[in-house]
Amino acid sequence: MHPATSAGLERRHCINLIRPDCLPIALEIVWQDLRDIYDRILAREERCAMITSILANDLSFNYEQNWPAMFQEHRALIYECNNFLIKEQQYSAAPSQGKLSRKYEIVRRMWDTGVWTLAKVLYKQMPRSQPYLVEVSEYSYQMITFLYRADTAFYEDWCKFLADLAVLRHYIEQDADRSRFWRTRAAEHFSRLLERQPGEGRLYHGLAVL
């Protein structure tokens, strides 16, 4: 079995979505929707892990031929995580059920598996991967901007992700004006985080290296 597949199956076993007892009928329907979405997230995570493993180990990867289908898996994972967060807003109307997205780390997993691991692999293969890295960062920035506006419960996470993506774009942009634009965006996101986390050293460091 492929190592990435094995790790994915182990992850599925460890973080299975556990059904609460005694749900009202209305929440039962929402719960089943969440269960279905979560199953799709698990499946997408496994595929994305396999894709990044292939990219990391195949330096002759044919981007033109294989990229569209491979990136579609990452877009689908981000979409399903987004869908989970939206559906959970209905489910969390019952305070006793808590915040499932925090319990199962949906936001972190969306970022780590759907965005950042792929971005790091592509960055190591610059310059030939540059247009594909731009595509990943552009799509991710748009989706996370939407979540930043729609789900304030994860405000600090969204700001951090947007800052990291903006820093990435600042460094990979070939046009000087575009690079400065993304530098400004990154500084704005770091500043928003500092309003919430005054004195946080890594944020000052992030601003300093821009």
Higher pLDDT, 14 or 30: 30
Per-residue confidence (pLDDT) for residue 134, from 0 to 100: 96
pLDDT tens figures, 182-200: 999 999 998 888 888 776 6
C-alpha 124/C-alpha 47 separation (Å) is: 21
Higher pLDDT, 206 or 163: 163
CA distance from start to end of the chain:
43
Are 48 and 73 contacting, i.e. CB atoms less than 8 angstroms apart? yes
Per-residue confidence (pLDDT) for residue 79, from 0 to 100: 95
3-208 — its CATH code?
1.25.40
C-alpha 1/C-alpha 132 separation (Å) is: 29
Distance from chain centroid for Cα 4 = 18
Does residue 158 have a pLDDT over 60? Answer: yes
Per-residue confidence (pLDDT) for residue 13, from 0 to 100: 37
pLDDT tens figures, 27-39: 777 788 889 999 9
Per-residue confidence (pLDDT) for residue 26, from 0 to 100: 66
- Residue 60 makes CB contacts below 8 A (sequence gap 6+) with none
Mean pLDDT of the chain: 83
Higher pLDDT, 64 or 164: 164
Are 135 and 71 contacting, i.e. CB atoms less than 8 angstroms apart? yes
Per-residue confidence (pLDDT) for residue 195, from 0 to 100: 83
Tokens of 147: 């979540």
pTM: 0.82
User: Mean of the pLDDT values across residues 203-210?
Assistant: 63
Nearest CA among 82, 14, 4, 79 for reference residue 47: 4
- Of 41-45, 89-93, 116-120, the range with the lowest mean pLDDT is 89-93
pLDDT bucket at 209, cuts 50 / 70 / 90: low
Per-residue confidence (pLDDT) for residue 166, from 0 to 100: 96
pLDDT bucket at 145, cuts 50 / 70 / 90: very high
